[in-house]
């Protein structure tokens, strides 16, 4: 796991090495172990790198790396888990270069030189972002892994004749280019307020974008004056889903056997590292499955990590401890109070580099920080929900919408009003009576979110789209924002996917997973120089997951049926079976208490008016309702607060 940066310009800076070094240094936290730079003044191209040494810790793994033939220069962030297999194939085909070390970067570079970029990526199993410079054809190629685990930003920066095409692992790298002055994109801000993230391919800056997952961008030096970019996919997640659904398993035993074998191989491959390795463990299905398979293949206890919170109702650490004891892992628990979590908030604007408002970013950062003290690599259970039917909305959305469809609109509005008028103390009592994890804050917030969607949805797909939005009128809240299309606006994306639950899973895997979950984990982990790996995102596992019929994902009102059957071989059912809970903190309570002054300063009406990005009236109304306990507005307020904090840090 590393950080990369680069640029190509018709009139590059005279001090190219100084500029590229500054760009790479801006992402030093992603790679504190080594640095490197390449510059070709004639071509106007420069590549910079910061290394976190994971595979081949020697100098043979240094980057930028030049191919044995001398044609290519590569900077590569990520891991190719099956690179040993690819080396063997190269050798069998008589294409073996004179290996200098045993890094996956060298293997990938040899594949590019021998097979070409697309054929190599089609063979590769891994997560990555890279920049490849072809010295003969004077062509730059940027690439990103199939699911978007590793970030890559690109865009045009600078002014006039000094304008350049720049790219990097984080926006920091682009901002470090001389003359960067790209304004905030009000259109992207409108999307951010809707979804609490800036969805790909957009960024918070005009003219700067995220490279879409499973995509390649190419730019030739002679195309610089016309700013012509070519972006093409090399793999298609939606097509993979449709192909899997069209060829479902008929035999459950066969499906479970193949799935277990694929997960076993994925975990085995991702457990290979020349640096200390561990795993996150919450005690839920996904993380427990990964740790169980790791421990089954390890001669030593696997190091596992969890965070325990002092607040009642938000602490799942006892469940993680019970699973760890059963599996025999070397378990580490970090106990945190409210002050520990709140201390992270000032770090968030620079850590996430653009507005990002999934509040689980806070405990995610804390557990990454705790793990980084002992290991350099940690496996996670991310992506189990999206591909195996884990989110609660997959289970209850169809039932709820079915009831709504038979309810007159006037009655829906009255019901929504009654929910929103219910005082917080009642939700608190209901939350305590239900025994649900998260208590009042989560129950109240979910009820209010559902209530606001009860009135104006005409289809189950519309109902889903409403559920994943925080401010449905985000374009109105962001002053001057226009319409930008997202993948959720593409009606053809889920064409042929007949079951609404599978449509929701596909949408989540294409949007929520890369834009929120993977972004959250990448920035939190790399902020403390920790590499994270997600075995559920081995594309061969995902292909099998799409072949599972819906009843092998959701059964008897419960998700992840297939994973549970496999997990019960390793962990007793009673240690796993409990209501699903997110990785949450009592943020709503804190905004009414210890975070109130901080929030009030950022949400002050005259400040909002002076900055000129947001409509102050609805924000102040939401803040007043939240403080008065009339409604839980945590999600909406957090999205505004994270933009305001980001704006303050980057002004």
What residues have CB less than 8 Å from 565, skipping those under 6 apart? 256
Catalytic, 95? Answer no
Residue 582 sits at the vertex; the CA angle it makes with 578 and 587, to the nearest 5 degrees, is 130
Cα–Cα separations (whole angstroms), residue 517 to 61, 385, 513, 520? 29, 11, 5, 5
CB 208 within 8 A of CB 152: no
Rounded to the nearest 5°, which phi and psi values hold at 495? Answer: -60, 135
Count the neighbouring beta carbons within 10 Å of the beta carbon of residue 236.
12
Q: Report how far residue 269's alpha carbon sits from residue 274's, in angstroms, rounded to the nearest whole number.
A: 13
CB 142 within 8 A of CB 16: no
Of residues 2, 69, 420, 633, which has the active-site annotation? Answer: 2
Residue 578 sits at the vertex; the CA angle it makes with 573 and 584, to the nearest 5 degrees, is 135
Q: Report how far residue 604's alpha carbon sits from residue 640's, in angstroms, rounded to the nearest whole number.
A: 12
104 is in an annotated binding site: yes
Count the neighbouring beta carbons within 10 Å of the beta carbon of residue 98.
5
Rounded to the nearest 5°, which phi and psi values hold at 278? Answer: -155, -160
73 in helix, strand or coil?
Answer: strand
Residue 171's Cβ-count burial label (10 Å; 0-12, 13-18, 19+) is: buried
DSSP for 339-405 reads HHHHTTGGGHHHHHSS----TTHHHHHHHHHHHHTT-SEEE--TTHHHHHT-SHHHHHHHHHHHHHH
DSSP for 143-163 reads EE-SS--S--EEEEES-GGG-
Cα–Cα separations (whole angstroms), residue 12 to 46, 166, 229? 9, 11, 19
95 in helix, strand or coil?
Answer: coil
Burial 424-454 (b: 16+ CB within 10 A, else e): beebbebbeeeebbbbbbbbbbbbbbbbbbb
Count the neighbouring beta carbons within 10 Å of the beta carbon of residue 218.
19
- Both structure tokens of 587: 């943020």
381 is in an annotated binding site: yes
247 in helix, strand or coil?
Answer: coil
380 is in an annotated binding site: yes
Q: Report how far residue 318's alpha carbon sits from residue 325's, in angstroms, rounded to the nearest whole number.
A: 11
Catalytic residue annotation? 2
Annotated binding site for ATP: 307, 380-381
Annotated binding site: 104, 307, 380-381
Annotated binding site for L-glutamine: 104
């Amino acid at each position: 796991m590393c950080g990369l940066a680069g640029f190509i310009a018709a009139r590059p800076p005279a001090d190219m090495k100084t500029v590229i070094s500054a760009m790479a240094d801006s992402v030093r936290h992603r790679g504190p172990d080594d640095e490197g730079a390449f510059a070709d003044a004639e071509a106007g191209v420069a590549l910079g790198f910061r290394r976190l040494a994971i595979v081949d810790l020697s100098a043979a793994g240094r980057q930028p790396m030049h191919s044995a033939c001398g044609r290519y220069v590569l900077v590569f962030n990520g891991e190719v888990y099956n690179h040993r297999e690819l080396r063997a194939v190269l050798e069998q085909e008589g294409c073996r270069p004179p290996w200098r070390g045993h890094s996956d970067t060298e293997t990938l570079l040899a594949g590019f030189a021998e097979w070409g970029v697309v054929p190599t990526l089609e063979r590769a199993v891994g997560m990555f972002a890279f920049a490849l410079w072809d010295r003969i054809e004077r062509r730059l190629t940027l690439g990103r892994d199939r699911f978007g685990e590793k970030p890559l930003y690109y865009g045009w920066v600078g002014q006039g004749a000094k304008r350049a095409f720049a790219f990097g692992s984080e926006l920091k790298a682009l901002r470090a280019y001389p003359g960067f002055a790209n304004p905030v994109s009000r259109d992207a801000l409108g999307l951010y307020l809707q979804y609490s993230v800036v969805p790909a391919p957009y960024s918070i800056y005009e003219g700067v974008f995220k490279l879409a997952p499973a995509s390649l961008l190419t730019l030739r030096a002679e195309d610089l004056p016309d700013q012509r970019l070519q972006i093409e996919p090399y793999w298609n997640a939606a097509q993979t889903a449709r192909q899997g659904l069209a060829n479902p398993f008929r035999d459950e035993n066969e499906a479970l056997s193949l799935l277990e074998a694929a997960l076993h191989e994925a975990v085995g491959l991702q457990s290979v590292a020349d640096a200390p390795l561990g795993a996150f463990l919450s005690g839920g299905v996904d993380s427990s499955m990964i740790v169980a398979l790791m421990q089954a293949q390890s001669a030593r206890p696997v190091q596992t990590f969890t965070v325990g919170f002092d607040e009642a109702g938000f602490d799942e650490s006892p469940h993680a401890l019970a699973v760890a004891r059963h599996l025999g892992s070397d378990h580490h628990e970090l106990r945190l109070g409210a002050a520990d979590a709140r201390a992270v908030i000032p770090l968030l604007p620079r850590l996430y580099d653009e507005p990002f408002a999934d509040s689980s970013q806070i405990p995610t950062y804390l557990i990454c920080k705790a793990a980084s003290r002992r290991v350099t690599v940690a496996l996670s259970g991310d992506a189990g929900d999206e591909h195996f039917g884990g989110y609660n909305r997959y289970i209850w959305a169809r039932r709820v919408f079915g009831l709504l469809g038979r309810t007159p609109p006037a009655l829906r509005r009255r019901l929504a009003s009654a929910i929103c008028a219910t005082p917080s103390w009642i939700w608190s009592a209901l939350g305590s009576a239900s025994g649900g994890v998260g208590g009042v804050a989560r129950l109240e917030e979910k009820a209010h979110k559902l209530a606001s969607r009860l009135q104006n949805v005409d289809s189950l797909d519309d109902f889903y789209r409403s559920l994943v939005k925080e401010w449905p009128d985000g374009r109105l809240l962001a002053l001057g924002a226009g319409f930008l299309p997202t993948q959720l606006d593409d009606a053809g994306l889920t064409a042929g996917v007949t079951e609404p639950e599978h449509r929701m899973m596909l949408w989540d895997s294409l949007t929520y997973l890369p834009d929120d979950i993977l972004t959250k984990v990448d920035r939190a982990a790399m902020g403390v120089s920790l590499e994270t790996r997600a075995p559920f995102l081995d594309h061969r596992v995902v292909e099998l997951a799409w072949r599972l019929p819906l009843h092998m994902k959701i059964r008897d009102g419960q998700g992840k049926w297939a994973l549970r059957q496999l997990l019960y071989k390793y962990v007793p059912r009673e240690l796993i079976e409990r209501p699903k809970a997110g990785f949450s903190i009592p943020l709503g309570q804190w905004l009414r208490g210890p975070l109130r002054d901080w929030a009030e300063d950022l949400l002050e009406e005259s400040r909002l008016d002076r900055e000129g990005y947001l409509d102050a009236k609805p924000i102040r109304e939401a803040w007043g309702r939240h403080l008065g306990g009339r409604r839980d507005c945590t999600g909406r307020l957090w999205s505004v607060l994270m933009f305001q904090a980001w704006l303050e840090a980057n002004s």
